[in-house]
Amino acid sequence: MRPQALRLTRSAPPAPHPPRAMSTQLTLQAPLEVPPAEVTPYLERLWHDGLEGSTGAATFTLLVWDPAWLEQQLVRIGRVDGPITGLDRADVLDAAREIVTLVGLPPSTAPMDPRLAWAVGQQPGSHAATDLRGRTVESAISSLTPRRLITLAPTLDDGHPLETLVAAYCPLPEDGGTGGAACGDVVVLRGGMGAMKQGLGLLQSLVGNDLPCWVWWNSSLDEPPEMLEALAPPPRRLVIDTSLGDPRRCLEVLVDRIDRGQALNDLNWLRLRSWRESLAMVFDPPSRRDALGRVVQLDIDVEGEHPVKGLLLAAWIADRLGWHLVASESVAADVGHGIAAEFQRTDGATVRFRLMPVPVGVPKAHPGAIVGLRLICEPAGRPPLCVILCSESGGCMRLESGGMASMELAEEVVPLPEESEERELARLLGGGHDTTNPLLAAAAPLAAELLPSAAP
Amino acid sequence: MTTILTNPLRVGLRQERVISPQCIVIFGASGDLTHRKLIPALFELFRQRRLPSEFAVLGCARRPWSDEEFRQKMGDSLAEQVAEHPRAWDAFAQGLFYEPVDLQQPEHLVRLGTRLEAVDRLRATRGNRTFYLSVSPEFYGSGCRALAGAGLLADPERSRVVIEKPFGRDYASAQALNKVVQACAKESQVFRIDHYLGKETVQNILVLRFANTIFEPIWNRNYIANVQITAAETVGVEERAGYYESSGALRDMVQNHLTQILALTAMEPPGRFDPEAIRNEKAKVLQSAHLAREDEPWKCCVRGQYAAGGSRAQPLSGYRQEPGVNPNSTTETYVAMKVFIDNWRWQGVPFYLRTGKRLPKRLSEVVLTFREAPVHLFDAAGGAPTPNQLILRIQPDEGADIKFEVKAPGSGMRSRPVDMAFSYDESFGEPSDEGYVRLLADAMLGDPTLFTRSDEVEAAWRLYTPLLELIEEAPWQLPVHPYEARTWGPAASDNLLAEDGLIWRRP
């Protein structure tokens, strides 16, 4: 089989609705299907003969676990049109929000909540669509010219045999391509879960050891752990999202991987950036610094019942201020359960912490988004200071109520991040580290400790 | 300044922009700038996790050092920081390499190319390279030619070159150097560094002007009477006599640092925050600037040279008595001048620039003095109302002050001036990054906003061409007035403003 070199060409977005980030999409010309056993020899021939004179970009390998269950299910029941892309799509989120109550889930359920994909999976439907996963690439990622982009695209049909698609590519020069020699190649492994396990055998030779390898687990952490284990052994750099999956499982994966010394990045942690920045900004004036040593109460409200993001925020604050966790328990809340904990400050005084789920009309895409934060400090010789941070998309009346008339009030609105998952990922890939961010590494175990072992 | 606790919540939040995997190649790696500024700045970026893991520094100079010797020497020069952060240094030092290179030897460039490929493979730096020419200015052109000749600047997306100041000695030489550099690389690859632009407070001029609505409407000839830009140093020539004798204050400070501040203060608002949009406006305003008396430049410029001074306890030598200085030197250590900008915004508003060594204080500031109130309704404590002033303090004690009149307490209606002050220390309490930290990061990010473009450099030189020609051809017309060390310059400088009924602000 004669190898074919392809070139990324600019084209209209494949979906009828534009992607959420409204960014330029680069679409590959259709990759060539080759038998699984032929993939590695084909690529060797491609670089040796077909692309003579080109060694490809000395960049990195990106391995993506991209089941896109929600998108696949919504396409299957006819709620959104194909093709299936695996990209952030506004129409998928809109359709997900519309269907939440129809499938019997609470209105606060976030569109990306894995329970929703499962519930949609129980609905009848058999619409089919072209599957372009792995072929459409966010330009922020393709401009980094990954040397090899491997996408594992499991299908709803468990019995779907393994298909392997291969192409060489280069972005257009204006998007960072060389304009001449090929930059890298794309490999798509598609099939049912059984086929995916079969495809694992190919990966070691495809990933190689010469270049850094990033693994983006673009799915729930509740999925079979053996797949995550197989795809992301250290020293591959792992990107996960701890907003997706059972909270305990999410925190276990986070802590376990950090303990194993793996470079771990958590998109849920990255989405905390504006909250951390807003809180730090309040205490930038040195006149307020001493109040940080006198915190007596911390309250965080989150959307729905996924506490991980709130716990990571609390754990980051506790770690930065040197608090020691004394006890943590589950408490009843208006909606589900909250978490109450007690910390000890460095001077021995007590800090009370509450994390409460609150119902929201239009939840954000990911479960457990922060609604608001309240921090009360009692600095010596001054009136107490109450800091309230509110999400720009909603109020935080619960935190603003009661007993603050005598306090100095510092209230800020926290902007919502505007970047898509792919753009966040591109930031990581563009300047990656082979170690975990030390702030995340310090906060993760504390967040896991904060999660009570059982509901009351 | 009082000791301020750091904000523990601020740690790790300065990572907004991510530098791509990168190899920075420093020519002149055995020189002073490398171990005093560049390596400390890179180590600071590393400690702040603003450098990726795929990062390398390849030091190049003529000395036959090994990688290990280079690491050792850099470690020695950063002894304090290394002792404070030994593990971070160990990790950082793994990315330090050294290659003996003479830029004039083509075969050395071939060897350098091979070595760079090896470093690329070893550190996965993806072929992204920033070449830093920290060499003697006469080698800037030939250095660029050598790099281009070896194909090392061929990829405009992945290679760039940073050129230290001074960029040329005058308009003609800057033009010639620009031609050479532009023949070797695209303008987008060339980063002409002026470390003054790395200062937070210099950048703040842009934010203050264009992120607020209260200043811009009055930032023009209708409200502003004059502008003073001062950069004062308390130090003398120190160990730089060799360089300074041939440059003087005009070339060393005015053509670059003061002119950049002038451009930021006077430029029009850019359409968007984009490197080219900003640099377009800076270039335009510099092209509109001219000396107040281009035909008789000696009437709008004063040169000075510090003489002995100080106190009995701490006597200070005069410039001509400094080691390495010609005892009959006519190099200026002080220069003051008056400039106009011919555009709708600034027509008729004088800009006074001054800089000098061995002045009483170390400070840089921009002072915008507003026009007087049209009618004086009130008695003023000082006889006449003090004009409003906006003072942008660039260093030290970075911040801004507004001076305005208020009613003096008492039964009458007398006015007196007061200050409303903003201080970086009081509001943020964190020391800003050193200028090189910001600028090196920007160069590696490929962001040229804080670097000077070819037309800016040429416009800056052209502005001072009448003075440079006069100094060259008829120096007696622009004599060097002696001034006592630790005073505010020669009396002639005061006269320059006195002619307009003004005085220099005494900070």
- When pLDDT is cut at 50, 70 and 90, the band that residue A27 belongs to is very low
CA distance B193 to B181: 14
Is the pLDDT at A81 greater than 70, yes or no?
A: yes
Tally Cβ neighbours within 10 Å of residue A19.
22
Helix intervals (H) in A80-183: 90-99, 114-121, 139-142
Q: Is the domain of B130 the same as that of B260?
A: no
- Closest partner CB to B124 (pick from A211, A431, A435): A211
Per the CB < 8 Å rule, is B9 touching A58? no
Q: Is residue A428 situated within a structural domain?
A: no
Does residue B126 share a domain with residue B250?
Answer: no
Predicted pLDDT at A1 = 47
**B110 and B210 together in one domain:** no
Please indicate, yes or no, if residue B323 is contained in any of the structural domains. yes
Interface residue B13 vs chain A (CB under 8 A)? yes
Structure tokens of A182?
A: 């090929």
Contact B329, B245 (CB under 8 A): yes
Regarding whether A31 and A101 lie in a shared domain, the answer is yes
Torsion (CA) B387, B390, B392, B393 in degrees, nearest 10: 50
Residue by residue, DSSP assigns B84-104 as: HSHHHHHHHHTTEEEEE--TT
Q: Is the pLDDT of residue A100 over 50?
A: yes
* pLDDT at A221 > cutoff 90: yes
Distance CA B122, CA A254 (A): 29
Q: Can you tell me the mean pLDDT for A303-314? A: 94
Structure-block tokens of residue B145:
């030619």
Of A58, A433, A435, Cβ closest to residue B120 = A58
Rounded to an integer, what distance in angstroms lies between the CA atom of residue A99 and that of residue A455?
Answer: 29
| B140 and B46 within one domain | yes
Residue A55 is predicted with a pLDDT of 64
Residues A208 and A285 reside in one and the same domain: no
pLDDT at position A390 over 50: yes
Percent of chain A at pLDDT exceeding 70: 86
| Catalytic (active-site) positions of B | 257
| DSSP three-state, residue B459 | helix
DSSP B205: H
A362, with CB counted inside 10 A (0-12, 13-18, 19+), is exposed
One domain, residues B412 and B294: yes
Asked if B52's CB is within 8 angstroms of A57's CB, the reply is no
* Min Cα separation A413/chain B (Å): 18
CB contact under 8 A, B157 and A58: no
Question: What pLDDT was estimated at residue B463?
Answer: 94
Whether residues A319 and A394 share a domain: the answer is: yes
Phi-psi region of A191 (alpha: psi -120 to 50; beta: other; left: phi over 0): left
Assess if residue B145 is contained within a domain.
yes
Is A180 a residue whose pLDDT tops 60?
Answer: no
User: Would you say residue B374 has pLDDT above 50?
Assistant: yes
How high is the pLDDT of residue B403? 93
Domain membership flag for residue B169 = no
Residue B298 lies in a domain: yes
Check whether residue A179 and residue A293 sit in a common domain: no
Contact A151, A165 (CB under 8 A): no
Residue of A nearest to B20 (CA): A431
Spatial contact of A215 and A425, defined as CB atoms under 8 Å apart: no
Q: How far apart are the first and last CA of chain A?
A: 64
Write out chain A residues lying below 8 Å of B94, CB-based. Answer: none
**A289 with B5: Cβ contact below 8 A:** yes
Residue A302 domain-assigned?
Answer: yes
pLDDT tier at B239, thresholds 50, 70, 90: confident
Using one digit for the tens of pLDDT, what is the confidence trace for B2-53?
A: 334 688 888 877 656 678 889 999 999 999 899 999 999 999 999 888 888 8
> Is B55 contained in some domain?
yes
Contact A280 B126 (CB under 8 A): no
Residue B90, domain extent: 22-164
Residues B417 and B469 grouped into a single domain: yes
Q: Which residues in B lie closer than 8 A to residue A433 (C-beta atoms)? A: 49, 52-53
Tell me whether residues B124 and A60 touch, CB distance under 8 A.
yes
**Residue pLDDT, tens place only, B430-485:** 777 788 998 999 999 889 999 999 999 999 999 999 999 999 899 999 999 999 99
- Cα separation of B436 and B38, whole Å? 7
User: Position of tokens 């920007």?
Assistant: B442
The answer to whether A320 and A343 are in contact (CB under 8 A) is no
Q: What is the mean pLDDT of residues B194-207?
A: 88
Chain-centre distance for alpha carbon B4: 27
If asked whether residues A19 and A144 sit together in one domain, one would say yes
With cut-offs at 50, 70 and 90, classify the pLDDT of residue A416: confident
- For A452, the token pair is 């009570």
Model confidence over A132-146: pLDDT tens digits? Answer: 898 877 777 877 778
Q: What is the pLDDT of residue A172?
A: 56
What's the pLDDT score for residue A47?
75
Mean pLDDT of all residues in B61-80:
94
A211 touches chain B (CB under 8 A): yes
Which residue from B239, B262, B493, B490 is spatially nearest to B366, judged by alpha carbons? Answer: B262
How many domains is chain B built from?
2
Q: How confident is the model at residue A307 (pLDDT cuts 50, 70, 90)?
A: very high
Last residue of a domain, one of A216, A233, A250: A233
Q: Are residues B64 and B210 in the same domain?
A: no
Q: Distance between CA atoms of A310 and A316, rounded to whole angstroms?
A: 10
Instruction: State whether B392 and B249 are in the same domain.
Output: yes
Domain boundary among B164, B179, B208: B164
Residue A363 confidence (pLDDT) above 60: yes
Among the partner-chain residues A57, A276, A438, the one whose CB lies closest to the CB of B9 is A276
**Residue A248 in domain:** no
In a domain, A287, yes or no: yes
Most confident among A83-97, A178-192, B329-343 (mean pLDDT): B329-343
Inter-chain residue contact B9 with A431, CB threshold 8 Å: no
| Position A6 confidence tier, pLDDT thresholds 50, 70, 90 | very low
Closest CA to A369 of A389, A354, A396, A391: A391
Return the minimum-mean-pLDDT range out of A106-120, A374-388, B368-382. B368-382
Mark whether B297 and B347 lie in a shared domain.
Answer: yes
pLDDT digits (tens, 9 = 90+) for A203-212: 888 888 778 8
Q: B23 CA to chain A: closest CA distance, Å?
A: 13
Residues in chain B: 507
pLDDT exceeds 70 at position B498: yes
Instruction: Tell me which residue of B215, B236, B213, B211 sits closest to B224, measured CA to CA.
Output: B215
| Cis peptide bond upstream of A35, omega within 30 | no
Say whether both B208 and B130 belong to one domain: no
User: In the listed set A399, A414, A429, which residue is the last one of a domain according to the structure?
Assistant: A414
pLDDT at A163: 93
Give the minimum alpha-carbon distance from A284 to chain B in angstroms, rounded to a whole number.
5
Closest by Cα among B121, B62, B72 to B93: B72
pLDDT at residue A302, rounded to an integer: 93
Of the candidates B355, B421, B387, the residue with the CA atom closest to the CA atom of residue B224:
B387
Give the pLDDT confidence score for residue A379 in this predicted structure: 87
**Strands, DSSP E only, in B93-146?**
96-100, 129-133
pLDDT on residue B221? 96
Write the CA distances from B151 to A131, A189, B144, integer angstroms.
43, 39, 11
Residue type, A417: P
- Look at residue A424 and tell me if it is in a domain: no
The pLDDT of residue A324: 96
Rg over alpha carbons for chain B, rounded to the nearest Å, is 24
Q: Are the Cβ atoms of A289 and B54 closer than 8 angstroms?
A: no
Report whether pLDDT(A65) > 90.
Answer: yes
The pLDDT, as a whole number, for residue A417 is: 67
Min CA distance, A267 vs chain B (Å)?
A: 15
User: Which CATH number covers residue B399?
Assistant: 3.30.360.10
Inter-chain touch A285–B127, beta carbons under 8 Å: no
What is residue B118's three-state secondary structure? helix
Q: Per DSSP, what are the bridge partners of residue B27?
A: B60, B133
Cβ(B212)–Cβ(B464) under 8 Å? Answer: no
Q: Where does the pLDDT of residue A14 fall: very low under 50, low under 70, confident under 90, or very high at 90 and above?
A: very low
Of the residues B164, B181, B209, which one is the last residue of a structural domain? Answer: B164
Shared domain check, A306 and A196? no
Neighbours of B278 (CB within 10 A): 23
Q: In sequence order, which residues have a C-beta less than 8 Å from that of residue A294 and are 6 or more positions away?
A: A345, A349, A377, A378, A379, A380
Mutation to test the A interface, candidates B126, B424, B428, most A Cβ within 10 Å = B126
- The span from the CA of B280 to the CA of B273, in Å, is 11
Judge whether B189 lies within some domain.
Answer: no
Is the pLDDT reported for residue B73 higher than 90? yes
CATH number of residue B55's parent domain = 3.40.50.720
Instruction: Give the gap in angstroms from C-alpha B8 to the nearest C-alpha of chain A.
Output: 6
Do B77 and B223 belong together in one domain? Answer: no
pLDDT confidence bin for B123, thresholds 50/70/90: confident
- pLDDT at position A89: 83
Tens digit of each residue's pLDDT (9 = 90 or more) over B128-187? 999 999 998 889 999 999 999 999 998 888 899 999 988 999 999 999 999 999 999 999
pLDDT category at A402 given cuts 50, 70, 90 is: low
In-domain check, residue B82: yes
- According to the model, what pLDDT value does residue A54 have? 63
In which domain, by residue range, is A170 found?
A: 9-233
Chain mean position to CA A148: 21
Contact A289 B428 (CB under 8 A): no
- The domain that contains A324 carries what CATH number? 3.30.360
Does residue B248 lie in a domain region? yes
B residues 311-370 lying closer than 8 A (beta carbon) to A: none
Query: Is A238 in contact with A232 (CB distance < 8 Å)?
Result: yes
A309 with A224, same domain: the answer is no
- Least confidently predicted of A408-412, B296-300, B308-312, B332-336: A408-412
**A213 chain-B contacts, CB cut-off 8 A:** none
Residues B295 and B381 in one domain: yes
Residue A426 carries which side chain, given as an amino acid letter?
A
Number of folded domains that form chain A: 2
**A195 and A281 co-located in one domain:** no
Kindly determine whether residue B155 and residue A292, on different chains, have CB atoms separated by under 8 Å.
no
Average pLDDT, whole number, for chain A? Answer: 84
Residue among A58, A280, A432 whose CB faces B121 most closely: A58
Write the residue in B20, B127, B155 that is nearest to A431 by C-beta. Answer: B20
Contacts of A141 (CB under 8 A, 6+ apart): A62, A422, A425, A426, A429
Q: How far apart are CA B107 and CA B14, in angstroms?
A: 42
What is the pLDDT at residue B3?
36
Q: Which of B7, B158, B424, B428 to mutate to test the interface with A (most CBs of A within 10 A)?
A: B7
Residue A33 lies in a domain: yes
Residues A90 and A201 in one domain: yes
Nearest-by-Cβ selection for B124 from A58, A428, A433: A58
A229 in the same domain as A279 = no
Compute the nearest-CA separation of B208 from chain A (Å): 18
CB atoms within 10 A of CB B8: 16
Q: Please provide residue A343's backbone torsions phi and psi, each rounded to the nearest 5 degrees.
A: -115, 160
Long-range (24+ apart) CB contacts under 8 A made by A248-253 are A248/A451, A249/A221, A249/A222, A250/A221, A250/A308, A251/A308, A251/A311, A251/A444, A251/A447, A251/A448, A251/A451, A252/A448, A253/A221, A253/A228
DSSP B463-490: HHHHHHHHHHH-GGGS-EEEEETTSSS-
How many A/B residue pairs have CB atoms within 8 Å?
Answer: 87
pLDDT digit string, tens, across residues A243-296: 999 999 999 999 999 999 999 999 999 899 889 989 998 898 888 888 999 999
User: How many beta carbons lie within 10 A of that of residue B453, not counting itself?
Assistant: 22
Are residues A195 and A337 located together in one domain of the fold? no
Partner residues linked to A267 by β-bridges? none
Of B5, B13, B155, the CB nearest to A280: B13
- Are both A99 and A209 inside the same structural domain? yes
d(CA B333, CA B302): 11
